[in-house]
Structure 1
Amino acid sequence: MSALLVPPGRGREQQNRPLRLAPVTAETYRAFLASATGAALGAGFLQCPSWADVKEGWRARLLGWGPAPEAGELTGVALVLLRQFPGTRKYFAYLPEGPVADWAASGIDGWLTPVLEHLRAAGAFAVRIGPSPAYRRWDAALLKSVTGSGVRLADILAGEVDPLGTAVAERLRARGWHRCGGDGDGDAQPRHVFQVPLAGRTGDGLWSGLNQEWRRNVRRAQKEGVEVVVGSAAELPEFYRLLRITEERDGFRLGRSLAYYERQYAALNAEEPGRMKLYLACYDGEILAAHTMITVGRRVWYQTGASADHRREVRPSNALPWRMLLDAHALGADVYDMRGVPSTLDPDERAYGLLRWKLGTGGQVVETLGEWEKPLDGTANHTLYRAFQAYLARR
């Protein structure tokens, strides 16, 4: 079943018909994402139907709304993950980086209210969403000049404040939603991400956008003979081994298993061949670094990176993302998203090293709207929501 388009400025009678919400098939959902209307909304990989197959312990629902969703006439979709609260028949509903909707439209109640009503009927006591508009942006050149003891992104005047993001935040607050956490620590997905704009740029332009250290390191890797190749599922165990080394070295823990990445690789590529790729930096017959890359429409993500502790002087961790950046550009992507960065600008904090490395690509830090939650109406739901928050805090 194909998703029918409802483009702006055309089909006025169809657009003026009331929106209806209904469960949709994965085929209808994917057809909408591939359509011009769906592509313009810029869905991320966490809102693809395949993501439901990645997340164990969650039930999934695919929802669509439009003039006639059961016939494929859609204007928006949502992948909803439902987690059962222990000892009850109630669920926490999570829409990771979703829903896929026109947040610029003034009448968001036309689709948001039916979504909440549907989830309440499904037994949800609370809902968490991740609106897509950006909130603030800081260019790399600015941030490199303002580092210092105790300095954080919130202390720096943004180079750009997105009026749509501001408007969406105000609309959600007016409807009883609240932003999770303070500085993003309550979000499941990163609030601050690093993006390299690609639209309208040339390969030479991308090269000149790298800072001097990055260009020097890429040249060093090329001179030493580091080879970057696209691997397969067979190399995922080696990727995972390097990831555990990286976690130990850099002091973080993602908490994901090898089975998680194997499941992700299989599910995403079953949905669309090449959606998830594993890039490998090889030197003298050994894999020294491995990164995963995901593509949906005109967006590309560097998802997770890992590297060995030895032979770092041949700079595999610069050669690898540089090749990925060039490949994303060759695919016609509008943006190369390097995912999360910390909010600290203090060089003495260990976490700053990741931000410093990404700043070298010459992109920008983007503060998203983050994740928003709302307990659904009813005293019992509010009580269960408070209990759920306490449960999460204990975990």
Structure 2
Amino acid sequence: MSLRLRTITREEHLAFVRARPSASHLQTPSWGEVKPDWRAESLGWFDEDGSLVGAGLVLLRPLPKVRRHLAYLPEGPLIDWTAPDLARWLDPMLAHLKAEGAFSVRMGPPVVARRWRAETVKAAIADPRAGRLRDVDADVHEPRAFDAADRLRRAGWRRAEAGGEDGFAAGQPQYVCQVPLAGRSLEEVRAGLNQQWRRNIKKSEQAGVKVVEGGIEDLPVFYDLYTETAARDRFVPRPLAYFRRMWTALRAEDPDRMRLYLAHHENDVLAAATMLRVGDHVWYSYGASTSRKREVQPNNAIQWRMLSDAHELGAAVYDFRGITDTLDAEDHLLGLLRFKVGAGGEAVEYLGEWEYPLNRALHTAFAFYMSRR
């Protein structure tokens, strides 16, 4: 059976997302409004009966000085990735995007390949012979994911090099940390925290740390902490306007799509974080904290509040987002892996991002340009 692809309305796209148990927040119509430097388009796949059976948010970024675009579907599209003939889904998309002037297409199949339980990751970190997570035997293998990867290679797709999210070097993490919540009581979730987490939560409670939900008027407070965090951890912060756009666009689509949490101690706000939700999937999105009063453990307090709220919302998973796959004790990112896995999180590997050159000369020239930036 052939599939027909066309641009769909925002309402059609959102209805399709809402009908699924889970979809990435990067594949909701509102995400296009968060990225004003990209032109957003909602794509829909229709079967022979005219039913909408797949959807995707594509972001189109113009190449300087020529009328060509990089097309990017972050953590999408939302199609049947188990289909034996993926070309049936992807070829119409490539033809459509080529007609719109795309010189290259990049996408991130939302397909899990492997999972490592918290105990496995902890043991791997302690093993001096383990260099990277990918070299450690996984607790769960998903054969259909590797089948999908083989089909993509045969169809001419190639795994994309990892990159930052800014500008053209668009990229989402291949490795994430997720705390499973489905079928577990909150007491069972708390029991899954490691000893250090439980101790820190108790310290924060005894110290009188209070975690509250904030509103758009609290974004400047969050932003002050965020820029302090950026200076401390040596990354380039996004502008405040970016978070205002996120708040306005995502909450207009669904009032519960984005939340802001603030950890108070006495008269100080010591930490803040944003939480996103689509269906039964909840993400920890951005976090920020001050170096002051770290002994009262505001970061553990705020994460436990978000975990608890995600459980109350009926979420199946609480997603800490990106982690490193390095197990090198000298790597500064290992501490973040320990923190997230300490919450009872599983390390999860996705298929990663893939690209298809529609204009090989422009694709090669662009790749060279990006490598020299």
Shared fold (TM-score greater than 0.5)?
Answer: yes
Structure 2 residue aligned with 1:229: 212
Match of 2:332 in 1: 350
- Are residues 1:386 and 2:369 paired? no
Deviations, residues 4-24 of structure 1 (Å, cap 9, x unaligned): xxxxxxxxxxxx5x3211111
Among candidates 253, 256, 262, match of residue 238 of structure 2: 256
Question: Given the alignment of the two structures, is residue 274 of structure 1 paired with residue 252 of structure 2, yes or no?
Answer: no
Give 1:32's aligned amino acid: F
Conservation of the 8 A alpha-carbon contact between 1:187 and 1:371: no
Equivalent position of 2:58 in the other structure: 80
Q: Give the aligned residue type for 2:280.
A: R
Q: Within the alignment, does 1:218 sit opposite 2:196 as a pair?
A: no
Shift of 1:245: 1.6
Structure 1 residues 321-363: Cα deviation after superposition (integer angstroms, max 9, x where no partner):
0010011011111111000011221222211111111111011
Cα distance in 2 for residues equivalent to 1:261 and 1:128: 25
TM-score by length of 1: 0.89
Separation (CA, whole Å) in 1 of partners of 2:210 and 2:236: 27
Does residue 38 of structure 2 align to residue 54 of structure 1?
A: no
AA in 2 matched with 1:285: N
Residues matched between the structures, number = 368
Q: How many Å separate the matches in 2 of 1:135 and 1:74?
A: 27
Cα distance, 1:137–1:373 mapped onto 2, change above 3 Å: same
Query: C-alpha distance in 2, partners of 1:47/1:104?
Result: 19
For 1:241 and 1:357, the matched residues in 2 are separated by: 23
Pick from 83, 91, 106 the counterpart of residue 128 of structure 1: 106
Shift of 1:239: 1.0
Q: Quote how far apart the aligned CAs of 1:187 are.
A: 6.3
Equivalent position SS for 2:124: coil
- CA change 1:188–1:332 in 2 (3 A) is same
Give the Cα–Cα distance (whole angstroms) in 2 for the partners of residues 288 and 182 of structure 1: 33
Alignment partners' CA distance in 2, 1:183 and 1:89: 24
Please give the alpha-carbon distance, in whole angstroms, between the structure 1 residues aligned to 2:259 and 2:266: 22
* Contact residue 86 and residue 152 of structure 2 kept, 8 A: no
For the pair 1:19 / 2:13, whether they are aligned, the reply is no
TM-superposed CA distance for 1:201, in Å, is: 0.4
Corresponding residue SS for 2:72: strand
Q: Which amino acid aligns with 1:394?
A: R
List aligned pairs for 1:283-362, cutoff 5 A: 283-362=265-344
Q: 2:25 aligns with which of 20, 41, 45?
A: 45
Q: Is the 8 A contact 1:57 1:83 kept in 2?
A: yes
Q: Deviations over 1:114-167 (max 9, x none)?
A: 111100111111100100111111111111122255722122122222112111
User: Structure 1: any 5+ residue segments left out of the alignment?
Assistant: 1-15
> What residue number does 1:6 align with?
none
Inter-partner Cα distance in structure 1 for 2:134 and 2:255: 40
1:145 is paired with a residue whose SS is: helix
* 1:365-384 alignment, distance < 5 Å: 365-376=347-358, 381-384=359-362
Task: Report percent identity of matched pairs.
Answer: 49
2:14 to 30, 42, 45: 30
8 A Cα contact 2:162 2:171, kept in partner: no
Structure 2 counterpart of 1:190: 173
Alpha-carbon distance in structure 1 between the residues aligned to 2:346 and 2:326: 15
CA distance in 2, matches of 1:348, 1:183: 22
Equivalent residues of 2:25, 2:278 under 8 A apart: yes
1:182 Cα deviation from its structure 2 partner: 6.7
Rounded Cα–Cα distance in structure 1 between residues aligned with 2:271 and 2:332 = 21
Distance of 2:48 and 2:259 partners within structure 1: 36
Tell me by how many angstroms 1:274 deviates.
2.0
Distance 1:237 1:331 in 2: 27
Letter in 1 for 2:190: W
Residue 227 of structure 2 contacts residue 237 of structure 2 at CA under 8 Å; is this kept in 1?
Answer: no
Corresponding residue of 1:246: 229
Paired residues of 2:112 and 2:349 also in contact (CA < 8 A):
yes
2:44 to 34, 50, 64: 64
Matched, 1:161 2:141: yes
Deviates more, 1:146-155 or 1:319-328: 146-155
The equivalent of 1:98 in structure 2 is 76
Return closer, same or farther for 1:108/1:339 CA change in 2, 3 Å cut-off.
Answer: same
SS at match of 2:179: strand
Q: 1:182 to 1:309 in 2, by over 3 A?
A: closer
Amino acid at match of 1:193: V
**RMSD over aligned Cα, in angstroms?**
1.8
Q: Which residue of 2 aligns with 1:208?
A: 191
**Shift in CA distance, 184/246, structure 1 to aligned 2, threshold 3 Å:** closer
